[in-house]
Amino acid sequence: MNTIFADKIEQFITEIPKVELHLHLEGAIPLETLFDLIQREGRESSIKNLDDLHRKLTYTDFAHFIEVWTWKNTFIKEERDFEEIAYQVLGNLSKQNVKYVEAFYAPGDYWRQGLSVQEITEYLIKGKERAHRDFGIRSELIIDLIRDHGPERSMQYLEEVTAYLGKGVIGVGLGGSEQSFPAEPYAPVYEEARQRGFRLTAHAGEAAGANSIWAVVEKLGVERIGHGVRANEDPQLLSLLEERQIPLEMCVMSNVKTGVCESVEDHPIKQYFQQGLMVTVNSDDPTMFNTSISQEYLVLNQKLDFTPNDLKLLSMNGIVASFMSDEDKELIKSQFEKKMAAITKQVFLKASNMVATSDISVYLVRCAICIEEIT
């Protein structure tokens, strides 16, 4: 690829507006902020600098990732820490032109520290509201009910956050050790959440196979699926996902780093996209996987030949798959379309003026961009 156009693709990806639907706030804490939390405790002698912390955030498999995740959580000692966490995470996303976020948080992970579900929620709402004022980024919270804690405690979490529904919290999710804790026992919790007005998503098809996805669809009645990578183990399931257009919150680098997929090239996201499934792009735990939402888009372009127009469609899918109201969806769609048209013209017209005409034609064909779009 012409190096000028390669640079322009990166600029295009950085500048286009984006949506994040699968982001764990505690896994997206900027590295510097997480390092400060660790240093505050003064008990982790092995973490002397950011390089040490980066090495710590390296995993052999999904179980090892959960182990490190639990270790990281021990350094969050006060509810008020969550206000700054939300603010810093959303500020970082805003720099990447993310305009709307639906972010997971798992207050149940902090019961050993004696932290309150309600106070964690309140401080997160303060942080996200401050980020909206300062950066213009909109966000909603999805409480992770955590499979490992069991249905009884999940129902308790649901009870504790119901007061915040529509006031910063929008939905429930189910993360944790999917391979060890199946979804079926959580059906009553999800039915109760639905009746209360929560929107529903659940992790499935990541550390467990297609049967796990069937369970969250048929037993929990989810509206979206977190990951869904292993749906291709069952052709009938793929057909169902295509027919119903159940959105998949896909996180490519996460799946590679935890060993769910051997490489980016082995990831099924391109297959799903070409088959017509409702695919969205997300960064999951970007700090812990040394990635970002912009990097996720760039990898799709560089490794899986997603064109700029493909990437624009993926970004728009994020709006369609979101839990926003229909009115808000139409408004943000219009804003995204105008912004994307302007960016496409600005970025690629400037690039086309810098290279030979023959190179322009070849590259624009490869990018699935019409000449009319940039002239």
Is residue 246 assigned to a domain? yes
> Domain residues for 62?
18-323
User: In angstroms, how far is CA 2 from the centroid of its own chain?
Assistant: 31
Q: Would you say residue 79 lies in a domain? A: yes
Instruction: Give the DSSP H or E segment for 229.
Output: none
Q: Look at residues 311, 314, 251 and name the one whose alpha carbon lies nearest to residue 284.
A: 251
Of the two residues 63 and 154, the one the predictor is more confident about is 154
Q: Torsion over CA of 47, 52, 54 and 60, rounded to 10 degrees?
A: -90
In a domain, 351, yes or no: no
Question: What is the pTM assigned to this prediction?
Answer: 0.91
Q: How confident is the model at residue 245, as a pLDDT?
A: 98
Q: What is the mean pLDDT of residues 139-163?
A: 97
pLDDT confidence of residue 356: 47
Mean predicted confidence (pLDDT) in 50-59: 88
| Rounded average pLDDT over 314-331 | 98
Whether the per-residue pLDDT at 7 is higher than 50: the answer is yes
pLDDT value, residue 367: 58
CA 106 – CA 69 distance, rounded (Å): 11
Residue 13 is assigned to a structural domain of this protein: no
Q: What is the pLDDT of residue 345?
A: 86
Residue 90 lies in a domain: yes
- Give the chain's length: 375
Per-residue pLDDT band at 69 (split at 50, 70, 90)? confident
Structure tokens at 56: 């710590």
- pLDDT tens track for 15-43: 999 999 999 999 999 999 999 999 987 77
Q: Are 145 and 157 in contact (CB under 8 A)?
A: yes
Dig out the tokens for 20 from the structure. Answer: 């994040």
Domains identified in the chain, total number: 1
CATH of the domain at 142: 3.20.20.140
Please check whether residue 358 lies inside any domain of the structure: no
Three-state DSSP class for residue 20: strand
Give 75-93 pLDDT, tens digit per residue: 999 999 999 999 999 999 9
What integer best gives the mean pLDDT of the chain? 91
Three-class DSSP category at 306 = coil
Q: Give me the residues paired with residue 88 across strands.
A: none
pLDDT tens digits, 335-355: 999 999 999 888 877 655 555
